[in-house]
Amino acid sequence: MGKARTAPKDKSTKKAPAPKGPADKIAGKDLAAAQPASKAESKASTSSEPTADVAAPAPPDEAGQGVLENAHLPVTHGKVGVFGGPRDRGVKPDDKLALPTGLHFVYERVRTLKPEGFYCSMRWDYHLLHKSPEEGKRWWANRKLLVTNSKTGKAVVVRAVDYGPHENTGLDIGISPGAAEALGVEVGDEVDIAFADQKAPQGPVE
């Protein structure tokens, strides 16, 4: 007679899991609930770096909205000038805008400005937020401002395109002929200046 065969071992039997303790609970579902839902949320909660495309809400200061992302406007109240358009004799055909307002931060020519558009110039601080002058120019380019007629309350949203007016003129901000017409102001009139909602459309404020 041959040797008696032993029954094969049951490989399907598994070792019973040990009971979960507090450490398992922390490493499991409860810990996952305490973590951010996504990497995007985690990054958003820790990042404070400003972006060029979307501006953060302007924190209030003594002037109301003279500060945006810790950047100060040159002035929040001053005298207005008008530039651009066929009546602007101080511009040469090849003169370029001081701010890189074009696609991919291209410096456009002053003559590309449309008189009926809504744009502005001020004596910007290019060294704001510890940036290099070139980075500062990019930050200001197309930044939207709210300009208000101090007497009538009429307001327009304009975009930053150039540097000026010159200090010798005694003017604090230059605006387009279209913006001046919408505000009902002439050269030398006083206006209030603030950061606008960066998503607001350019033009008269209803």
Q: Is residue 90 part of a domain?
A: yes
Q: What is the DSSP letter of 81?
A: E
DSSP for 104-167, please give it. TS---BGGG--TTS-EEEE---TTGGG--HHHHHHHHTT-EEEEEETTT--EEEEEEEEE---G
What are the tens digits of pLDDT across the range 43-91? 333 333 333 333 333 333 333 468 887 889 999 999 999 998 877 878 8
Number of domains in the chain: 1
CB 160 within 8 A of CB 124: yes
Residue-range definition of the domain harbouring residue 93: 70-204
Q: Is residue 9 part of a domain?
A: no
CB 60 within 8 A of CB 194: no
> Can you give the pLDDT at residue 43?
39
Q: Would you mind telling me the total number of residues written for the chain in this entry?
A: 206
Q: Is residue 152 part of a domain?
A: yes
pLDDT at residue 135 greater than cutoff 50 = yes
CATH number of 144's domain: 2.40.40.10
pTM for this predicted structure: 0.68
Q: Is residue 177 part of a domain?
A: yes
pLDDT at residue 24 greater than cutoff 80 = no
